[in-house]
Amino acid sequence: MNKQITLAMGNGGEENNELISKIFYKAFKNDILQKSEDAAVIHGGELAFSTDSFTVSPLFFPGGDIGKLAICGTCNDLAMMGAKPKYLTCSVIIEEGFSTRELEKIVRSMKNELEINGAIVVSGDTKVVPRGSVDKIFINTTGIGEIQKKGISSNKINKDDIILVSRDIGKHGATIFTTREGIELSSELKSDCASLTHQVQALIEAGVNITAMRDATRGGVSAVLNEWAKQSNICIEVNEQSIPVATEVEGVCEILGFEALNLANEGTFVLAIKKEDEQKALDILHTFENSNNAVKIADVTGQYIGKVLLLSSYGTKRFLDTPTGELLPRIC
């Protein structure tokens, strides 16, 4: 590992995994942490507990802002463990000179998203630092949720499961990049930033047999699938043709050389469910505007343990590796 921290170490890909495993996991090693889930399951399996920090640039973007992102991010992590968000903390680090008007706008976004999730902020902290110490504002949110369905884990995926994705991928990463760089598009590309609590609750209430869920944020769907393959000692075979990608995201990827599977999402999740529940799960997801194009994308096999295999429309196969390098810094 490098002797100095690089931007690539925050990309949600291979370098990020190495940083976490060789420094943080090494120091804080325990049974709960080593499960590497979106949220920790605590208190006898009754509660989920998660924390996240947000440093997106620009702060305001089509489809959302840093405030909406902060609440969605933590509530979604709780939802991915089958939990209903209940209580959050909010800590902010604000640069001297930051506009109070913009701060109020960010806080209003947070309030609106809290109401969507049925959660409240119960504690927080505010720091103001000298100009230049941070880039405008950083936000940390920590959340506790009540688990509605126990046993969801990315360490339990097996050959009885199939993999679904809740909607088209890559919109958040593509939106942040084009907005930051001032790239004008003829389409109305906007982030997928959204809370996923209601979709997950609907799946649980319908009795869908969920093995694992993960929101595909930094590192995108590619990072999620590779993490699952390693955690559960399985091979995930992805049908490339089935992956939903919006036309405008495809265009951004073609122009700039991105891979849609590596781009960040903030309102898209990947599900491992039992094969027999495929249609039931899709029918439920399709009732929500944010997941009306949900689809099966992969099967679980034992062909190449710990690997993700991408099957092309031409009949060829290649390994889909964990993203590496500096993808899109400051995306969430």
Q: What is the mean pLDDT of each run of 10 residues along the chain (332 residues)?
A: 80 79 89 91 96 95 97 98 98 97 98 98 97 95 98 96 98 93 82 98 98 95 96 96 95 90 96 98 97 97 94 90 73 79
Same domain (yes/no): 103, 188: no
Q: What pLDDT shows up at residue 83? A: 98
Which residue, of 147, 174, 204, is where some domain finishes? 147
Q: What pLDDT shows up at residue 327? A: 65
Same domain (yes/no): 118, 202: no
What's the structural domain count of the chain?
2
CATH number of the domain encompassing residue 92: 3.30.1330.10
Q: At what angle do helices 171-180 and 247-256 cross, to 10 degrees?
A: 60
Same domain (yes/no): 168, 270: yes
Same domain (yes/no): 246, 307: yes
User: How far apart, in whole angstroms, are the C-alpha atoms of residue 295 and residue 161?
Assistant: 14
The dihedral over CA atoms of 80, 82, 83, 88, expressed in degrees to the nearest 10, equals 0
Residue 152 lies in a domain: no
Same domain (yes/no): 28, 136: yes
Same domain (yes/no): 175, 303: yes
Nearest to 63 by CA among 246, 293, 308, 234: 246
Residue 32 lies in a domain: yes
Q: Is the dihedral of CA 268, 269, 275, 279 positive or negative?
A: negative
User: How far apart, in whole angstroms, are the C-alpha atoms of residue 283 and residue 150?
Assistant: 23
Q: What pLDDT shows up at residue 324? A: 77
Same domain (yes/no): 91, 212: no
Same domain (yes/no): 197, 61: no
Same domain (yes/no): 107, 179: no
Range of the domain at 63: 7-147
Q: What pLDDT shows up at residue 326? A: 67
Q: What pLDDT shows up at residue 52? A: 95
User: How far apart, in whole angstroms, are the C-alpha atoms of residue 152 and residue 61?
Assistant: 33
Same domain (yes/no): 125, 211: no
Same domain (yes/no): 135, 185: no
Residue 327 lies in a domain: no
Q: Quote the pTM value.
A: 0.94
Same domain (yes/no): 277, 311: yes
Q: What pLDDT shows up at residue 315? A: 85
CATH number of the domain encompassing residue 283: 3.90.650.10
How many CA atoms, within 13 angstroms, populate the side-chain half-sphere of residue 326?
6
